[in-house]
Amino acid sequence: MPARTPHIAVIGAGLAGLAAAARLRAHGVDVTVFETGDVPGGLVRTETIGGHRFDTGATVLTMPSLIVDTVTQLGVSAREALDRLAAAPVDPSYVMNYADGASLSIPHDAAAVPDAVAEALGARAGAGAADLLGWLRRVYDAEFDTFIDRNFDPTGLVDARTRRAAARLVRLRTLGGLTGAVSRFVDDERLQRAFTFQALYAGVPPHRARAIYAIIADMDIGRGVSAPAGGMGRVGRVIADALVDADVEIVYGTTVRALRRDHDGTVTAVVTDDDTIAVDAVVATAERDAVARLADERPRRRLRYSPSAVVVHGVLPVGATDTWRSGHHTVDFGRAWTQTFAEITGRRGRLMSDGSFLITRGAVGDPDTFIADGAESVSVLAPTPNLESADLDWNVLAGPYVAEILATLAARGYPGIDAMRVLRVDHPRTWADAGLPAGTPFSAAHTAAQTGPLRTRNVWPTSRNLILAGSATVPGVGIPPVLVSGGLAADRVTDLLRGDDGTR
């Protein structure tokens, strides 16, 4: 008799689950993806609110090549994958406005960044930016393949490949602080902000983050930001459609309630409201504590979570934004910087006293999607403490705080934004009600004790065939790391099925 084809369950059709399913299917196993919602993509999504379209999760797309790589595993050509994704360069990738009146537009093409910096901030800053970009690329080259896109087990921490890469990172002086590393190349504090604000994605202040996180700046400023036609939700749909074409079943509107395990912890089935489905392994993309509940366990390690955010989605009449110094992604910096991060990341968190904000205007590059009925969709993100560090009553506070944010921005040079018709406000309580721990969509922070091999491992400690993917596990938070995590999870399953679950 022919050997039975293994059946793998993937819990969650976010990008990590979709990436895991793609690689597993490419390896010839049967895959079923279970998704509670009715669309793929997880926190990378585009929604209609009051008749208007908004990217309501991640808004910054970097390294779209990882999406193409995911889809091509399923027999789609690279050209066809690019056509389906329909991602266009966002140029400028960012507009950065400063409290002293300066404005810096970051070109999509990294080769043009030094001249843009020189024009906005002076020749010395431009020369420093050129040197910094070169260093960022060297950090990426030393770090990505060995420390990000790779599964680790204890022996892998001391093998020759790891030692060589670690030695390169030491020579690049990445073990010190991020702000200090960037300041070796640029002494203009405004430009330092441009290359370190990305540490917020990792949940740590730039002055406390390790310089290894400079890789994030290379991923966006160094490689440019893109935007898929129709909004960020297209990313999940493109991968999901390719999976369905490859005979992967995606079951929407279905929640996995429990895992069946045998005496040694091996998962034998997943339990939904309507069925019990036998499986050979499970890839779970939920947050760690949610997976623990499925396994009927309580984690012993307490995690520290990233800050959260208030996100305002609203509309303005077409033309109202014409006088703004803005692009698709605009970062508006307050005068405070270190203080701001201390307020939102401290163990006793506080609202920003002098906020910095991200304004998203997808209509800059995609008016057909983000303009409707004479109104433009505009979103504003304000970082906040999470609910563990500041358990604020957001259901009461959100309205007044949004009014304060919009009034602040109107005074900073975005006239009319305080008259925006607000259609929805997401805040820490929104995220908590959606099941996200500490009320943050940014998962566990990349503190020293929660990064690299110290981050939650992607093999569940009591079930060797329960594999984790997503931002809660390795390598971490953000679209590129989450896509990578799905592939790493699939590799864990493949190694397990062939009886080799050691270091790759």
Total-model pTM: 0.97
The predicted model gives 451-458 an average pLDDT of 91
pLDDT per position as a tens digit, 152-206: 887 667 789 999 999 999 999 999 999 999 999 999 999 999 999 999 888 899 9
In a domain, 87, yes or no: no
> Do both 257 and 214 map to the same domain?
no
For β-strands 52-55 and 46-49, DSSP reports them as antiparallel
**357-360 and 329-332 strand pairing:** antiparallel
pLDDT tens-digit profile of 364-380? Answer: 999 999 999 999 999 99
Residue 84 forms part of a structural domain: no
Question: What's the rounded mean pLDDT across residues 128-145?
Answer: 98
Mean pLDDT on 333-351: 94
Are 460 and 479 contained in the same domain?
A: yes
* Confidence band of 30 (pLDDT split at 50, 70, 90): very high
Considering the domain boundaries, does residue 98 fall inside one? no
Can you say whether the dihedral through the CA atoms of 36, 38, 44, 45 is positive or negative? negative
Residue 362 shares a structural domain with residue 435: yes
pLDDT tens sequence across 382-432: 999 999 999 999 999 999 999 999 999 999 999 999 999 999 999 999 999
DSSP run (H or E) holding 17: helix 15-26
Whether residue 401 is found in the same domain as residue 325: yes
**What is the predicted pLDDT for the residue at 300?**
86
Task: Give yes or no for residue 62 having a pLDDT over 70.
Answer: yes
Quickly list DSSP for 308-319. Answer: EEEEEEEEEETT
- Give bridge partners of residue 312 from the DSSP assignment: 380, 425
Maximum C-alpha span of the chain: 75
Same domain, yes or no, for 194 and 289? no
Specify the 3-state DSSP secondary structure of 427.
coil
Residues 8, 468: Cα–Cα separation, whole Å: 13
- pLDDT at residue 504, rounded to an integer: 40
Domain that holds residue 311: 307-439
Cis peptide before 461 (omega within 30 of 0): no
Residue 58 lies in a domain: no
pLDDT value at position 155?
A: 66
Whether 503 is covered by a domain: the verdict is no
> pLDDT digit string (tens) for 216-252?
999 999 999 999 999 999 999 999 999 999 999 999 9
pLDDT averaged over the chain?
Answer: 96
Domain count of the fold of the chain: 3
* Final residue in a domain of this structure, among 390, 424, 439: 439
In a domain, residue 74? The reply is: no
Other residues' Cβ atoms within 10 Å of the Cβ of residue 498 = 9
pLDDT for position 304: 96
Model pLDDT, residue 501:
60
In this prediction, residue 20 has a pLDDT band, given cuts at 50, 70 and 90, of very high
- pLDDT higher than threshold 50 for residue 503: no
